[in-house]
């Protein structure tokens, strides 16, 4: 089995409690900081992680406390973040991607999670199987890192 080698990677498992959302966001952004992102790039990463972790807590597990896995990988000038759960899955991924769509209207949620993530990240992949869970993979290219590398080469 050929395992992909990254420049660096980290794995985190948290309980699906809303109090852990900030911990996940801060942990991933601290890991991403080694790429020397701009404050805006770091904010984009934090927001995307926050949206996806919150989706897992609210939609995948409802009220049960289960595990959310976060795997972050750095390669060259980008960070890839996989967030997965073993919750109920997404019935219709294309519908879930539409702005303002939500299955929890009673919680006064905006239904903008995936739209926000697509805006702030360079890539977004959603994989889900009903009854087995969901894996979200998102990638952010750190442009500040590219500029710093060019400056150091000259």
**pLDDT tens-place values along the chain, 154 residues long:** 456 788 999 999 999 999 999 999 999 999 999 999 999 999 999 999 999 999 899 888 877 789 999 999 999 999 999 999 999 998 888 877 776 656 555 555 565 678 888 999 999 999 999 999 999 999 999 986 555 555 555 4
- To the query of whether residue 51 is one of the catalytic residues in this protein, the response is yes
109 is catalytic: yes
Which three-class secondary structure state does DSSP give residue 71?
strand
CATH of residue 144: 3.30.565.10
| Assigned domain for 1 exists | no
The pTM score is: 0.85
CB atoms within 10 A of CB 65: 10
User: In 3D, which of 72, 44, 45, 56 has the Cα closest to residue 20?
Assistant: 56
When divided into structural domains, the chain yields a total of 1
Where in the sequence is the domain holding 145, given as residue range(s)? 8-153
Of these residues, 109, 144, 146, 148, which one is catalytic? Answer: 109
Q: Are 84 and 133 in contact (CB under 8 A)?
A: yes
Flag whether 3 is in a domain.
no
CA distance 25 to 153: 33
């Amino acid at each position: 089995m050929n395992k992909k080698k990254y420049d660096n990677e980290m794995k985190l498992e948290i309980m699906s409690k809303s109090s852990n959302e900030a911990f996940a966001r801060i942990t991933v952004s601290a890991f991403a900081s080694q790429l020397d992102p701009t404050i805006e790039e770091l904010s984009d990463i934090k927001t995307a992680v926050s949206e996806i972790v919150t989706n897992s807590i609210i939609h995948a597990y409802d009220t049960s406390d289960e595990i959310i896995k976060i795997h972050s990988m750095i390669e060259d000038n980008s960070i890839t973040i996989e967030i997965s759960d073993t919750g109920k899955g997404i019935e219709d991924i294309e519908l879930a991607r539409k702005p303002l769509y939500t299955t929890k209207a009673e919680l006064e949620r905006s239904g903008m999670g995936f739209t926000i993530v697509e805006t702030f990240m360079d890539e977004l992949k959603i994989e889900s199987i009903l009854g087995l869970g969901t894996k979200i993979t998102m990638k952010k290219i750190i442009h500040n890192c590219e500029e710093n590398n060019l400056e150091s080469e000259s």
